[in-house]
Each structure stands twice: as structure tokens, then as C-alpha cells.
Amino acid sequence: MTLITTDYLEYYLTLVSWLIHNGIWAVLVASGVFALPFLAIIVQEWLRARAEGADEGNKGTLSAARIENRVFVAIVVVMFAGIPFLDVDLSTIQHDSSRSTQCQVNVPLPADTGWSQSFSTLNNQSAKVPIWWGFMHALSRAVTGASVAAIPCGTDLRQMRMEIDATRIDDPVLAQEVADFTHDCYGPARAKLFMLRPSLDEAQMHDVTWIGSRFFTETGGYYDSYRSSTARDNWPYDSTRDAGLAQVASGGGYPTCRQWWAEGSNGLRARLLAQVDPSLLNRLAGWAGFLSRAQVDDSVIRAVASPRQQKLNQGSVYTDYGGQIDKTDANIITRAAGDVGLAIGAVGAFPAMDVVRQALPMVMALLKMALVICIPLVLVVGTYDLKTVTVLSIVQFSFFFVDFWFQLARWIDSTILDALYGWGFGWNRPHWGFDPVMGLNNAFGDLLLNFVMGTMFIVLPTFWITALGWAGIHAGSALQGLINGTGEAKAAGGKFGNMAFGGAMRMAAKPDKSK
């Protein structure tokens, strides 16, 4: 029977756990301990019948019938959930990295698995698995995989935004040309707009706030009326267009602002767009299906050419209960202090959360191993009771299904910006002033959201186990090991950030001896 695992660590620990399970079961059989539950069943049912009232009829017949039922159930449990019967053939899923990046969850390849022929033995020992637990492993993995596949396949807007924010104009000459265009074209056009005060809709009001405004480019009297104040080598001198202007030795001319911005590959727009990775533009265009490619490109150029980080909105995109509806000065001061505290805490907290997220699958693999090793002893102590098998089966399934909650938490964390800011156009969006590649004005609110999302990798699996208790399956603190197992890693992961911040504070507090 083939048991599917998701990574090599789980592959190895699964094989180890079943080898140890087989060894423990062999010890129980060789010592005769495995038969003690049958004796316990006889004694329990005899004492139970004897303790009941005289109106229950023949005690011997009653106890014999009960003993027969329980022994029959125990034999079935031993046959299907106790005796290792099927040879273990392990394989671990290979993941499609490109598809996983797109969907923000681990997506397996359609058919292939890796390590399937590597080994199913350890130290010349091969493992066997009882029929029931092999079935539960396969069922749990299938349900978990199907649930993960049900998560919508989205785009990581957070990563795209970080890549665009990191894009800079590397050519100093091009950067100076952007400044010249702002001085010669955008400034005068903007001033003329304020003097004429034409009637603009909300989309046009947003459009005229950057140098590549389509309103200024396409409307007569703006970019077609102004020109570069210095000669540009990319546009040869035109005696008609440049009449009365000085000719320079290089032969450069004085393009109109419309030509300077939009004319072919020489235009400032095309050269700014060339500063951005084409694959990033394609990913962004694929996500922003509600915008045309030209609008997406303009948004990217707007971010690259902006002299400062652009603002996304002036409000919040999720409900909070901080302060009052109409915030007082005290509320504003409190919020500012909280924002600073979040920023300081993030120095140590975010690395610590990232370490926890890396450690959680390792801890889960170890917990699954511990559960498999415990199965034979728990069955014996539980006198091969059907309820014991049921609880163990649900706990095993819940351990496998935790992987779904990890995938869901990571998907939400990766696509939360898309969910909050990403669909529709105009009034369909949470904030109509959206530009798909701008930064967040609600930055501290999203910083707080990052703190919350970091804890979801613990909270969601714990809630899952609690929900099973509502159905009568009391798994107890089965996942307490997630918290205990990652505690030290979390503390260590945050040390560097805390030390760096502490060192910076001490340096800032040192008196200046030069005075």
C-alpha cells in the first residue's frame, strides 16, 4: 500500500514511526500483553452484570452475551487496527513550483511523485501497516489535498507591490530628464488647469495628479502647447517646430511635451517602462484584468517616476474598534503611540513569526510520528474498544488536515491585499482612489493585520481541534505541541531584531562627547 507524504521529513518520520510501531506490537504479542484486554473485558462485564439489580434476569446469560459482543469487537479491532499486515510503500509528492507561486499554496504535479523508489526500508527493516490505519492515512491525505485544491488560485499582490516599490531609475540621465519634464511640462500644464478650472470627473481628477496624465497628453492646449526648454538629442531639430530656438551642435531639437512623453521608443514613457522587469508587468496585467494593459503600464510608470511613495487611500478597509467614531485628540495621540509600538515590535516579531511558520510543518511531522507510535499501546489500554479506535482515527485525520489550515493561512496572508483592494473598478472597489501598484496609506493598519496573520498559523489549527470537540470528539490539547515545539524557535528568531533595535537605541542615547 502506498502512503503519500508531502515532504521528505514527513516521509522519513512516517517510515520510522511505523517501524517502531511494528516493534512495539511485536513486543506486546511476544510477551502476551496483547491478550490482557480480553481478560479485562471478561472481568469488566462480569462485575457490571453482578452490580445490576435482581430484575435483570439470569446474570450468567447476560454477562456471557455482553462478553461475546465485546470480544467480537475486540477481535475485529485487533485484526484491522492492530496487526501490521500491509507492506508500507512510501512516496512523497513533488510540487509544481511555478503553479504554487501563482496559487500561493503547494500544488502537486498532476501524476508524478518523488522518492517512491528510493527506499521503504531503514536499517534493513521494512515496515507494515494495519489495514485500518493505511486506509485512514490515504483518506486523510485525499481529503486534505482536495480541500487545499478548493482554495482559490490567486496572485501574490504583496510580492508584486514589493518588487515595484524596489524598482528604481538606475540611469541618472533619465532621472534628470524626468525632473526636466516635470519642470517644463507638468508644472505649466497643472498651473493652466488650475487657472481654467475645466469640469473633470473623479477619474480625471485622479489622472491629472501625475506627469503622464492622459488628460494633459490627449487634450489640446496642454502638452501639445508646451515644449522642452533644452535641446533633446532623440528629436532632431525641426525648423518648423523649433523656429526661433537656438540650434545646438548635436543637432537636437525641442520636442513638444506630447512628443517628449509618448512618441515611440524615444518617448519618456517607453524608456521609464523599460526600467521594469517585463515578467513583473505581465503578472500585474494578468491580475488586474479590470484594467487595460496601457492603464496597468501607466500605473507602474507612475510608481517608478513618483518622487515619493504614492498613497493608496485615506481610510481603512476593515473594521476596528479603536478610539471613537469621531476621534478626539487623545484618540489620535493614542493611535500614533500604538503605531510606533507596532513598528518597534515588528523588528523582532516578524522574524520570529517567520521562524514559527518554517518550524510548524516539522513539529506536525513529529506529532504524526508520535501518534503512530502510541497506537498499539493506546489500543491495549483501551481494551480494543471501538470508541478508542474512532477517537484515534479522528485525531489522525485532524493532524493531516492541519496542513490545509497552514495552506489557507499562508494563502490569506499572501493575497490579503488582493482581497481588500483588488477587484472591480470605480465604485466596485473598497476605495475608488485605488491604483494597483501604489503603497498603502493604511500602512500601520496592515502592519497590525500582519501581526494577526502571523498568529493564524497557530490559531486556525487549534480552532479546528476545538471544533471537533463540538461534535463529541474530545481530542484535548492534541495540538499543544505546535505551541510548545515552536516556542524556542520563535524566541530565537526574534533575538536579532530585538538586539539590533536595542543597539540602535543605546547608540542614540549615548552623549555626544565632541561637544
DSSP element (H, E) containing 295: helix 293-305
Of the candidates 305, 327, 302, which has an alpha carbon nearest to the alpha carbon of residue 316? 327
Of the candidates 365, 212, 226, which has an alpha carbon nearest to the alpha carbon of residue 295? 212
Residues with Cβ < 8 Å from 17, sequence gap 6 or more?
368, 369, 370, 371, 372, 373
Residue identified by cell 496483547 is 34
- Residue 364 half-sphere exposure toward CB, CA atoms < 13 A: 27
Phi-psi region of 251 (alpha: psi -120 to 50; beta: other; left: phi over 0): left
Please report the pLDDT score of residue 312 as a whole number: 33
Question: 3-class SS at 170?
Answer: coil
Instruction: Report CA-CA distances (Å) from 81 to 135, 267, 381, 392.
Output: 10, 74, 14, 10
CA quadruple 358, 359, 362, 368: dihedral sign = negative
Please report the pLDDT score of residue 488 as a whole number: 61
Beta strands in 29-75 (DSSP E): none
Beta strands in 244-327 (DSSP E): 252-253
Phi-psi region of 476 (alpha: psi -120 to 50; beta: other; left: phi over 0): left
Whole-prediction pTM: 0.59
Of the candidates 404, 397, 364, which has an alpha carbon nearest to the alpha carbon of residue 151? 404
Long-range contacts, 287-291 (Cβ 8 Å, 24+) = 287/155, 287/157, 287/160, 287/418, 287/422, 287/436, 288/422, 288/436, 290/423, 290/424, 290/425, 291/425, 291/436
What is the DSSP code string of 409-474? HHHHHHHHHHHHH-SSSGGGSSSTT--TT---TTHHHHHHHHHHHHHHHHHHHHHHHHHHHHTT--
CB atoms within 10 A of CB 1: 15
Per-residue pLDDT of the chain (515 residues; tens, 9 = 90+): 778 887 778 888 888 899 999 999 999 999 999 999 999 999 988 888 877 755 555 666 778 888 899 999 999 999 999 999 888 877 767 776 666 766 777 777 765 555 444 456 666 677 889 999 999 999 998 898 888 888 877 555 555 665 666 566 667 788 888 888 888 998 899 899 888 888 888 888 888 888 888 889 888 889 988 888 888 888 888 888 888 888 888 888 898 899 898 888 888 888 888 877 777 777 677 766 666 778 777 777 777 766 543 333 334 444 555 655 566 677 777 766 766 676 666 666 667 677 777 778 888 888 899 999 999 999 999 999 998 999 899 889 988 998 898 888 888 777 765 556 544 433 334 433 334 443 334 455 556 666 677 678 788 888 887 787 777 666 655 566 556 655 565 566 555 555 554 555 555 555 555 55
| 437 touches 299 (CB < 8 A) | yes
Alpha-carbon gap, residue 95 to 107, rounded angstroms: 5
Alpha-carbon gap, residue 499 to 494, rounded angstroms: 9
By DSSP bridging, strand 128-129 and strand 86-87 are: antiparallel
